[in-house]
C-alpha cells in the first residue's frame, strides 16, 4: 500500500496547527475529549464537513471533526530505524 505508516517506536515530528486553516490530506495530531486520548489521523474534507481518517480502516473508524475533537498540531515528519 502507498499509505504512510507509523511503525511502533516511531518518533513523530509535530508543528503547531493553524486553527483557522487546516490543510486537507495532511496528517494531524488530535485530542479526542470524549475518550481522553490522542490520535494521529489524516484530515479529509467531505463537502462542508471534515473527518479524521485512520491509516488502518480495517480496525479504526473515521472520526467527524466536531467540537469534541481538538486539533493540536500537524505532523511534519516521522522517522524510525530498525536494528537487525
Distances (CA, A) of 81 to 8, 9, 11, 78: 10, 9, 10, 11
Distance CA 55, CA 61 (A): 10
- The predicted pLDDT at position 2 comes to 43
Torsion over CA of 13, 32, 36 and 17, rounded to 10 degrees? 40
Asked if residue 6 lies in contact with residue 38, where contact means CB atoms within 8 angstroms, the answer is no
Mean pLDDT by 10 residues, the chain (84 residues): 63 65 76 91 89 89 93 75 60
Which DSSP symbol is given to 21? Answer: -
Mean pLDDT of the chain: 79
* Residues 35-62: b if buried by 16+ CB within 10 A, e if exposed: eeeeebbbbeeeeeebbbbbeeeeeeee
- The predicted pLDDT at position 56 comes to 85
Amino acid at each position: 500500500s502507498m499509505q504512510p505508516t507509523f511503525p511502533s517506536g516511531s518518533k513523530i515530528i509535530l508543528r503547531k496547527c493553524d486553527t483557522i486553516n487546516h490543510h486537507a490530506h495532511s496528517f494531524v495530531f488530535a485530542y479526542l475529549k470524549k475518550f481522553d486520548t490522542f490520535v494521529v489521523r489524516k484530515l479529509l474534507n467531505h463537502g462542508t464537513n471534515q473527518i479524521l481518517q485512520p491509516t488502518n480502516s480495517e480496525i479504526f473508524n473515521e472520526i467527524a471533526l466536531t467540537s469534541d475533537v481538538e486539533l493540536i498540531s500537524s505532523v511534519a515528519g516521522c522517522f524510525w530505524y530498525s536494528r537487525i
